[in-house]
Amino acid sequence: GEAAPGAAVDTQDELLAWVKATYTQNSHWCCSVAFGGGGADAPPLDPRTLRLRGFENLYVADASAFPTIPNGNVHSTVTAVASEFADRFVRDRRAAAASSTSSSKRGRTTARK
């Protein structure tokens, strides 16, 4: 026999009401960042840096940044993307800081005795 929704749910309206009352989302959102605008010519997310265009220092490093839904559980793929993003982010920030420091030193003159 039928376990759910059961014999008490008989009409289309009752079935729709039952689905609305009992449905839960158990999946991870994927591929949703493109819905933020920008169109195909200028997507809102820079795929190289994962920076959201139009915002300062806002990055997307989760499943919403995926171009397609991966096969299987998305968790390991999200972890890999986030780890790679974190490595790049730290490396880029260190390189920018080093570049800024070296360029400011080049502009200074040192008096010698």
Burial of 62 (0-12, 13-18, 19+ CB in 10 A): buried
107: tokens are: 């502009």
Residue 75 known to be catalytic: no
* Catalytic residue of the set 28, 51, 53, 88: 28
Distance between CA 52 and CA 61 in Å, rounded? 10
Which of the residues are catalytic?
28
